[in-house]
């Protein structure tokens, strides 16, 4: 390998984020490996070298690259990039010692992203024992995790045969469609739905009654992409309306035939988002007594505002809330801006405090108040206090007890100061993304939402 070639590699990555893959791929693989495997060189230069080696590494190169994966001191970005090279170089015939090491990482506390990279590598290398953990990764709600896991699971199916993979996961029949019906866990059934390249209408309809909400949600998503007609969806729901009528007092996370009816109605609205479909759905909803998920103690206007802002929320949202939401929002209604201009209620709070002699500062959006992100409230502050005014309606909250004069000024401006009893109530059945979690939130967090 000529020293000149190494210099050419370095010149192709002059600084972070400035790699030329076109140049790198034109350079000798030996030079790329030399730079990649030199831990003294900056990681931002080595990672592009790995990317340029995918599909080009020889067995000798692969063994040198492997040393960077197993080095506990290696930079995570480099180790993950090296695994991507090895997935292609070794495919279904990894060395025994490499496969043993990869399997041994399961259950260990690894650096960020390495767990996913190791599992994906095992799948692409044809390791059937990776099917179970890969299945759980496919089920993960984080997009950057589950998409790569789907590709790895698909590659595992190609390497070992789809039937071998699905039977390993607990299905009797050797197909992804069979796994979606027979999988013993929600993750297995979800994986079957996700990997079935051409799901049948009948299979998707059947999965709407799955005992796990996330699987039923996935089935309705797949169903919308099929050729099923709106009439067939409404007919499917009609056959289950009796079950839906009986679920008035059912707890959150509704499943079974009652949920299947709701999911079919939601799918029908998505297939034909027009007033005629909405009216047909509303007729059926009234017919079964509008079996919504109740939230005792939550005022109706607050309930409507929360659903309008946060639906469809996360994949485990109770389907009754989805039907309620689509019936309370016209198909042409536009979603509000994530960071709206100062709304009327914030201006009213400012004017009321100003008129009462408190000299408030101009309202500040949630994003500006937190110096990043966006939210659903504005802050109106004086020298001694601050209040949050929801963008979703005339609701105000304060971190501490408000002086009587402030309380009077705000209420006379037709603003409602919410008490702690209401603010701390959890709005069940509506999981919302909030700083990495996907769980139902309190009324406070929903009306006065902020996310960085």
Q: Using the 8-state DSSP alphabet, how is residue 158 labeled?
A: H
Residue 314 pLDDT grade (very low, low, confident, very high; cuts 50, 70, 90): very high
What are the CA-CA distances from residue 292 to residues 276, 295, 381 (Å)?
22, 9, 39
CB of 363 closer than 8 Å to CB of 390: no
Structure confidence at residue 1 (pLDDT): 55
Structure confidence at residue 340 (pLDDT): 58
Among 328, 360, 384, identify where a domain stops: 328
Question: Which residue blocks in 272-299 are alpha helix, DSSP H?
Answer: 275-287
Q: Does 353 lie in the same domain as 297?
A: no
Q: Of 72, 135, 133, whose CA–CA distance to 106 is shortest? A: 133
Do the domain assignments include residue 339? no
**Helix (H/G/I), strand (E/B), else coil: 373:** coil
CB of 199 closer than 8 Å to CB of 175: no
Do the domain assignments include residue 333? no
CATH at 154: 1.25.10.10
Phi, psi of 395 (to 5 degrees): -120, 140
Among 283, 301, 328, identify where a domain stops: 328
What are the CA-CA distances from residue 212 to residues 246, 357, 389, 394 (Å)?
19, 56, 37, 37
- Containing structural domain, residue 428: 344-451
Would you state the torsion angle of the CA atoms of residues 87, 90, 95, 98, taken in this order, to the nearest 10 degrees?
-10
Do the domain assignments include residue 337? no
Q: Does 417 lie in the same domain as 315?
A: no
Domain count, the chain: 3
How far the first Cα of the chain sits from its last, in Å, is: 49
Do the domain assignments include residue 335? no
Give the whole-angstrom CA distance, residue 127 versus residue 94.
Answer: 9
Q: Does 378 lie in the same domain as 244?
A: no
Tokens 């509506």 locate to 430
Q: Does 184 lie in the same domain as 85?
A: yes
Chain segment 365-417, per-residue pLDDT in tens: 999 999 999 999 999 999 889 999 999 999 999 988 889 999 999 999 999 99
Q: Does 295 lie in the same domain as 251?
A: yes
Structure confidence at residue 330 (pLDDT): 57
And the tokens for 297?
A: 């103690």
Chain segment 427-450, per-residue pLDDT in tens: 999 999 999 899 999 999 999 999
Task: Report DSSP letters for 18-36, one per residue.
Answer: ---HHHHHTS-HHHHHHHH
Please say if the pLDDT value at position 247 is more than 60. Answer: yes
Count of alpha carbons within 13 angstroms of residue 216, beta-carbon side = 25
Q: Using the 8-state DSSP alphabet, how is residue 17 labeled?
A: T
Chain segment 390-401, per-residue pLDDT in tens: 999 999 999 888
CB of 56 closer than 8 Å to CB of 46: no
Do the domain assignments include residue 147? yes
Among 195, 223, 252, identify where a domain stops: 195
Structure confidence at residue 452 (pLDDT): 86
Do the domain assignments include residue 338? no
β-pairing, 426-434 vs 437-442, is antiparallel
Q: Does 367 lie in the same domain as 350?
A: yes
Q: Does 205 lie in the same domain as 136?
A: no
Give the mean pLDDT of the chain: 93
Q: Of 279, 231, 284, whose CA–CA distance to 261 is shortest? A: 284
Phi, psi of 261 (to 5 degrees): -60, -45
Chain segment 315-343, per-residue pLDDT in tens: 999 999 999 999 987 554 545 545 557 78
Structure confidence at residue 334 (pLDDT): 47
Q: Does 289 lie in the same domain as 266?
A: yes
Chain segment 248-283, per-residue pLDDT in tens: 889 999 999 999 999 999 999 999 999 999 999 999
Q: Does 213 lie in the same domain as 282?
A: yes
Q: Does 262 lie in the same domain as 285?
A: yes
Chain segment 133-182, per-residue pLDDT in tens: 999 999 999 888 888 899 999 999 999 999 999 999 999 989 999 999 99
Do the domain assignments include residue 130? yes
What are the CA-CA distances from residue 60 to residues 24, 29, 72, 168 (Å)?
19, 11, 21, 33
Structure confidence at residue 342 (pLDDT): 78
Structure confidence at residue 332 (pLDDT): 47
Rounded (5°) CA angle 121-122-123: 90
Chain segment 25-74, per-residue pLDDT in tens: 999 999 999 999 999 999 999 999 999 999 999 999 999 999 999 999 99
Q: Does 359 lie in the same domain as 309?
A: no
Chain segment 69-105, per-residue pLDDT in tens: 999 999 999 999 999 999 999 988 899 999 999 999 9
Structure confidence at residue 287 (pLDDT): 94
Do the domain assignments include residue 216? yes
Q: Does 257 lie in the same domain as 324?
A: yes
Give the whole-angstrom CA distance, residue 452 versus residue 415.
Answer: 27
Give the whole-angstrom CA distance, residue 262 versus residue 208.
Answer: 9
Query: Which residues, 6 or more positions from 308, have their beta carbon under 8 angstroms from its beta carbon?
Result: 325, 328, 329, 392
Would you state the torsion angle of the CA atoms of residues 393, 399, 405, 411, taken in this order, to the nearest 10 degrees?
20
Query: Which residues, 6 or more positions from 306, have their beta carbon under 8 angstroms from its beta carbon?
Result: 392, 427, 430, 443, 446, 447
Instruction: Provide the whole-model pTM.
Output: 0.89
Give the whole-angstrom CA distance, residue 275 versus residue 304.
Answer: 20
């Amino acid at each position: 390998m000529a020293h000149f070639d190494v210099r050419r590699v370095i010149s192709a990555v002059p600084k972070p984020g400035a790699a030329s893959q076109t140049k790198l791929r034109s350079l000798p693989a030996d030079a790329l490996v030399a730079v990649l495997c030199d831990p003294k060189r900056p990681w931002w230069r080595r990672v592009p070298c790995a990317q340029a080696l995918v599909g080009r590494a020889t067995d000798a190169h692969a063994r040198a690259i492997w040393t960077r994966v197993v080095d506990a001191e290696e930079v995570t970005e480099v180790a993950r990039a090296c695994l991507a090279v090895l997935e292609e170089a070794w495919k279904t015939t990894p060395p025994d010692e490499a496969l043993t090491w990869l399997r041994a990482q399961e259950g260990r506390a690894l650096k960020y992203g390495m767990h996913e990279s190791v599992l994906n590598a095992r799948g692409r290398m044809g390791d059937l024992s990776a099917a179970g953990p890969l299945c759980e990764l496919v089920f993960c709600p984080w997009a950057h995790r589950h998409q790569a896991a789907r590709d790895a699971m698909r590659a595992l199916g190609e390497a070992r045969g789809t039937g071998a993979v699905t039977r390993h996961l607990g299905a009797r029949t050797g197909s992804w469609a069979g796994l979606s019906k027979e999988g013993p866990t929600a993750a297995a059934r979800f994986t079957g739905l996700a990997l079935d390249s051409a799901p049948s209408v009948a299979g998707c309809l059947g999965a709407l009654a799955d005992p796990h909400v996330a699987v039923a949600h996935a089935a309705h998503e797949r169903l919308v992409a099929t050729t099923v007609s709106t009439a067939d969806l409404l007919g499917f729901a009609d056959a289950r309306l009796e079950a839906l009528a009986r679920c008035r007092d059912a707890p959150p996370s509704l499943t079974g035939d009652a949920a299947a009816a709701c999911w079919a109605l939601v799918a029908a609205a998505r297939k034909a988002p027009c007033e005629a479909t909405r009216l047909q759905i509303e007729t059926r909803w009234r017919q079964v007594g509008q079996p919504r998920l109740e939230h005792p103690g939550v005022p109706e206007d607050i309930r409507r505002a929360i659903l309008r802002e946060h639906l469809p929320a996360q994949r485990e949202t109770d389907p009754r809330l989805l039907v309620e939401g689509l019936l309370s929002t016209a198909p042409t209604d536009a979603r509000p801006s994530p960071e709206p201009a100062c709304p009327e209620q914030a201006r009213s709070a400012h004017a009321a405090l100003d008129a009462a002699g408190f000299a408030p500062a101009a309202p500040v959006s949630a994003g500006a108040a937190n110096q990043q992100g966006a939210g659903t409230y504005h802050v109106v502050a004086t020298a001694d206090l601050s209040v949050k005014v929801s963008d979703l309606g005339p609701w105000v909250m304060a971190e501490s007890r408000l002086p009587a004069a402030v309380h009077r000024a705000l209420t006379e401006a037709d603003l409602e100061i919410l008490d702690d009893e209401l603010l701390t109530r959890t709005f069940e059945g509506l999981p919302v993304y909030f700083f990495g979690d996907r769980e139902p939130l309190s009324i406070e967090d929903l009306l006065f939402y902020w996310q960085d």
